[in-house]
Amino acid sequence: MGTTFHGPSPWPHITRAIRTRGARYAAIAYLGQDAPELLPLRAGDLLVVNASKAAIRAHATSPAALAYYVNKGVRVLSSPTLHAKVIATNTRAVIGSANASENSAFADDAVLITDDPEVIASVRTFIDRLDEITEIDEVFIDNAAREWEIGRAVPIPGVSGRIRDTEAEFLPAPVTRMFVKHAVDYEPSPTEQHVLDEHRPRQPATAGPAVKYQLESLRLDRT
């Protein structure tokens, strides 16, 4: 298999990659209510999440998902400083940015999946060395459910709240050029003009993502 890169929607690849024999070890910061469908763990597996009060109140980690895993016999732990998203099986490691949530499908996430034994061992070591660990049990979940009711979803890409809405883009339809006219005459100061000149692109950039919107200035003198 080697090492493969998957993005911007990596969860189908992650789900397939971790369907292996033996125990799985995962440290995934945030869990949506649909996490069990994306991250199919079973009895004997280990899952570390960020189930801090802040994460629960922001609806970043779901008490319902925690309860599902605990009832399945998964050992679930909470680390309030966890932000990583890594998984280790006996034969593969997953390292990336994807939280176990449907909201991840609305963000540009990416992961590496590898069968490199050294990387697999390093992921296991990373998970084993996480500190400030709290065991998640029924009492913890009951308290988390109350915190969930107090809080509200905070729209964070890939964590909670569906961010990408194609019907609510910056512009209602694709445009190639748009002109915005100043309502009043304005003469930039020498300093402002210098800043404008410095930021005006001298030649098109070829590296990196394509720019969807670009702002340029044009002055039309009165005749």
Determine the Cα–Cα distance for residues 154 and 31; give it in Å rounded to an integer: 14
Q: Report all structural domains of the chain as residue ranges with CATH numbers, in order of start.
A: 3-150 (3.30.870.10)
> What distance in Å separates the CA atoms of residue 56 and residue 66, rounded to the nearest whole number?
11
| Residues 30 and 60: beta-carbon distance below 8 Å | yes
Between 61-70, 107-116, 195-204, 213-222, the lowest mean confidence (pLDDT) is in 213-222
Helix (H, G, I), strand (E, B) or coil at 212: coil
Percentages (nearest 5) of helix, strand, coil residues in the chain: 30, 15, 55
- Using the Cα atoms of residue 171, residue 177, residue 183 and residue 189 in order, give the sign of their dihedral: positive
- Tell me which of 107 and 201 has the higher pLDDT: 107
Tell me: pLDDT of 166 over 50.
no
pLDDT band of residue 107 (cuts 50, 70, 90) is confident
Closest by alpha carbon to 155, among 101, 97, 110, 85? 101
* pLDDT value of position 183: 59
**pLDDT (mean) for 181-202:** 69
Judged by average pLDDT, the poorest of 48-57, 140-149, 172-181 is 172-181
CA torsion 17-129-109-211 (nearest 10°) is -140
Question: How far is CA 199 from its chain centroid?
Answer: 31
